[in-house]
Chain A
Amino acid sequence: MLRLGCGAGFSSDRLEPAIDLARDGRLDYLIFETIGERTLAFGHRDRKADPTRGYNPQLAARMRGVLAHARANRTRIVTNMGVANVAAAGEVTIAIARELGLKGLRVALVEGDDVTSLMAPDTVLFDHGNRTIAEVKRPVAGANVYLGIDAILPALETGAEIVITGRVADPSLFLAPLVHHYGWRRDDWPLLGRGTIVGHLMECGMQITGGYFADPGHKDVARLADCGYPIAEVTPEGDTTITKLPAAGGQVSVRTVKEQLLYEVHDPAAYLTPDVTADFSNVRLAEHGADRVHVSGGSGRRRPETLKVTVGFDGGWLGEGGISYAGPNAVARATLARDSLVERLGRHKGFADHLRADIIGVDSLHGTAGVRATGEVHDTRVRVAMRSADRDAIETMLWEVESLLCCGPAGGGGYRGQISASVITHSTLIARDAVQPTVRVLTA
Chain B
Amino acid sequence: MTRRIPLHELAHARAGDKGDTSSISVWVYDPGDYALVRQQVTAERLKAAFPRLIRGDVIRYELPGLCGLNFVAQNALEGGVNTSLNLDAHGKSWSSLLLSLEIEVPENRRCDDGAR
Which A residues contact B (CB, under 8 angstroms)?
A: 38, 127, 212, 215, 217-220, 255, 258-269, 281-285, 315, 354-356, 358, 360, 364-366, 368-371, 383, 385-387, 423-427
* Chain B residues closer than 8 Å to A426, beta-carbon distance: 82
- Pairwise interchain contact B115-A127, C-beta atoms closer than 8 A: no
* Chain A residues closer than 8 Å to B86, beta-carbon distance: 356, 364-365, 368
Cα–Cα distance between A258 and B63 once the two chains are bound (Å): 11
Supplied contacts A263-B14, A266-B70, 19 more A-B pairs, CB within 8 Å: A218-B12, A255-B12, A255-B27, A258-B25, A260-B14, A261-B66, A265-B25, A266-B61, A267-B72, A268-B61, A355-B85, A356-B85, A356-B86, A366-B93, A366-B97, A370-B52, A386-B85, A426-B82, A427-B19
How many A-B pairs fall under 8 Å by CB? 104
Cα–Cα distance between A358 and B78 once the two chains are bound (Å): 14
- Pairwise interchain contact B114-A262, C-beta atoms closer than 8 A: no
- Pairwise interchain contact B61-A267, C-beta atoms closer than 8 A: yes
Cα–Cα distance between A371 and B101 once the two chains are bound (Å): 11
Cα–Cα distance between A255 and B52 once the two chains are bound (Å): 31
Minimum Cβ distance to chain A for residue B102 (Å): 13
Which B residues contact A (CB, under 8 angstroms)?
A: 8, 12-14, 16-19, 21, 23, 25, 27, 29, 50, 52-53, 59, 61, 63, 65-66, 68, 70, 72, 78, 81-83, 85-88, 93, 97, 100, 114-116
Cα–Cα distance between A176 and B57 once the two chains are bound (Å): 36
- Pairwise interchain contact A365-B93, C-beta atoms closer than 8 A: yes
* Chain B residues closer than 8 Å to A354, beta-carbon distance: 85
- Pairwise interchain contact A264-B17, C-beta atoms closer than 8 A: yes
Cα–Cα distance between A284 and B82 once the two chains are bound (Å): 36
Minimum Cβ distance to chain A for residue B89 (Å): 9
Cα–Cα distance between A371 and B86 once the two chains are bound (Å): 14
- Pairwise interchain contact A358-B18, C-beta atoms closer than 8 A: no
18 cross-chain CB contacts under 8 A: A127-B19, A218-B12, A219-B12, A255-B12, A255-B27, A258-B27, A259-B12, A263-B25, A264-B17, A266-B21, A266-B23, A266-B61, A267-B72, A268-B63, A354-B85, A369-B50, A369-B53, A370-B52
Given A284-B65, A355-B85, A371-B100: A262 in contact with B12 (beta carbons within 8 A): no
- Pairwise interchain contact A281-B63, C-beta atoms closer than 8 A: yes
Cα–Cα distance between A282 and B8 once the two chains are bound (Å): 26
Cα–Cα distance between A321 and B78 once the two chains are bound (Å): 20
Minimum Cβ distance to chain A for residue B10 (Å): 10
* Chain B residues closer than 8 Å to A423, beta-carbon distance: 82
Cα–Cα distance between A381 and B102 once the two chains are bound (Å): 29
Sorted from nearest, which 6 A-B pairs have the closest CB atoms? A264-B16, A356-B85, A262-B25, A369-B53, A369-B50, A259-B14
Minimum Cβ distance to chain B for residue A422 (Å): 8
Cα–Cα distance between A264 and B14 once the two chains are bound (Å): 9
Cα–Cα distance between A38 and B81 once the two chains are bound (Å): 9
* Chain B residues closer than 8 Å to A258, beta-carbon distance: 25, 27, 66, 68
Cα–Cα distance between A261 and B23 once the two chains are bound (Å): 12
